[in-house]
């Protein structure tokens, strides 16, 4: 069963298990699981890397999907992530701005030096919450939503996410979690916020900091 944090006639907010597709596709996608579990239409409006887990919202109607997609386009849809990096960022907080090129054939993104076809601007802000045994717990807010953005922007600075085999973070579970969402209800207009910190795996090293986020 997929954990449901909230649902009404328009929305379903849930916790995505790591290893599941956030969009429709082969191999046990989260939308198909939710349709079977909830018995209703499910419309994806944002994505989360397959290896990552955490809070996601799905629309139950095409009208709600359109409203949420518009919020995302207007920058009104707030997402916050937690990650664990190998080594700590040079500054305890800051903004990363890069030009990213996504190679679809390899499903991998790269930081590049100039704007050209296929290149998109990427920006995020971060804050280091704790450093333990050469690993850092980092809070991240995205300004843009590029493919593998958090993973490649931190890896390009010598601090890959723990467990990120694609970007040099070694073996094990990918330490990336969608911990909070904030958006306006597509029908009622009220602000909704949801928070769910990760548990288990190698997150336990930072349990004190994670408990403080609830």
Give the C-alpha separation, 168 to 66, whole Å.
37
| This model's pTM is above 0.85 | yes
> pLDDT value at position 201?
74
> pLDDT value at position 75?
87
Q: Could you say which of 8, 24, 49, 201 is catalytic?
A: 49
> pLDDT value at position 214?
67
pLDDT in 10s for each residue of the chain, 214 residues: 999 999 999 999 999 999 999 999 887 799 999 999 999 999 999 999 999 999 999 999 999 999 999 999 998 999 999 999 999 999 999 999 999 999 988 999 999 999 888 889 999 999 999 999 999 999 999 998 899 999 999 999 999 999 999 999 999 999 999 999 999 999 999 999 999 999 887 899 998 888 887 6
Residue 49 known to be catalytic = yes
Structure tokens at 79: 């997402």
**2-5: long-range contacts at Cβ-Cβ below 8 A with a sequence spacing of 24 or more?**
2/30, 2/33, 2/34, 2/37, 4/38, 5/55, 5/194, 5/196
148 CB contacts (<8 Å, ≥6 apart)?
49, 102, 108, 109, 166, 167
* CA nearest to 90, candidates 128, 51, 38: 128
């Amino acid at each position: 069963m997929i954990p449901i944090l909230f649902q009404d006639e328009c929305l379903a907010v849930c916790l995505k298990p790591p290893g599941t597709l956030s969009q429709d596709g082969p191999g046990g996608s989260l939308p198909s699981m939710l349709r079977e579990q909830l018995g209703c239409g499910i419309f994806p409006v944002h994505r989360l890397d397959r290896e990552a887990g955490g809070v996601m919202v799905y629309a139950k109607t095409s009208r709600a999907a359109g409203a949420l997609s518009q919020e995302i386009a207007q920058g009104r849809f707030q997402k916050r992530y937690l990650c664990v990096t190998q080594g700590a960022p040079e500054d305890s907080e800051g903004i990363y701005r890069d030009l990213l090129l996504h190679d679809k054939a390899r499903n991998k993104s790269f930081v590049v030096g100039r704007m050209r076809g296929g290149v998109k601007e990427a920006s995020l802000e971060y804050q280091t919450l704790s450093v333990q045994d050469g690993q850092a717990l980092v809070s991240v807010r995205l300004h843009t939503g590029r493919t593998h953005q958090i993973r490649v922007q931190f890896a390009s600075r010598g601090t890959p996410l723990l467990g990120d085999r694609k970007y040099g973070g070694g073996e094990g579970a990918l330490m990336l979690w969608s911990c909070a969402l904030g958006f306006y209800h597509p029908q009622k207009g009220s602000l909704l916020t949801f928070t769910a910190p990760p548990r288990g795996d190698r997150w336990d090293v930072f349990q004190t900091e994670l408990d403080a986020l609830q």
